[in-house]
Amino acid sequence: MKKIILIRHAKSSWDTITDDLTRPISKRGIKDAHLVSDVLKEHLPHKSIIWTSPAKRAKETATIFCQNMDLSLECVIIREGLYTFEQSKLREEIKKCKNEHDALILFGHNDAITKFVNKFGSETFDNVPTSGVVVINFDTDDWGSITSGVTELTIFPRDLK
């Protein structure tokens, strides 16, 4: 059994003129990331690997989540391939996860996350919101062969306010 915890980065700030990779998260994004991560910590698997996009907003989101869930920041692995907005590229990156890991926590971007969730999960969404979490279980022991999974849990900021 493989489990993926997909987390869309927190709301980004458009106040600063910067390129896409260095855009930080906003004050609202910080609040939402704290809110959602407080709930997610009750649903974490005992052991997992943590990957994040190299984008500043994804790394900042990963930092907040890890601190709130008592996960070591040293365990967060920056994966260049997660800086994608395409579902097919996201899937290819996930397929690279070593099978010794049964749970993957992934911080990434839309449209890739919403389209991945809709293609491989058992529920569909118009949009996975910023700081949104979707947990999908796959009945396989091989990340390379994930197909259809079961959506186990969703945590969206709007449902917690």
Residue numbering of the annotated binding site: 57
- Residue 127 and residue 39: Cα distance in Å, rounded? 20
CA 82 vs CA 18, 25, 89, 103, 123: distances in Å:
20, 17, 8, 17, 23
Number of C-alpha atoms within 13 angstroms, CB side, residue 68?
21
Backbone angles phi and psi of 52, in degrees to 5: -140, 155
Backbone angles phi and psi of 118, in degrees to 5: -70, -30
Residue ranges of the annotated binding site for substrate are: 57
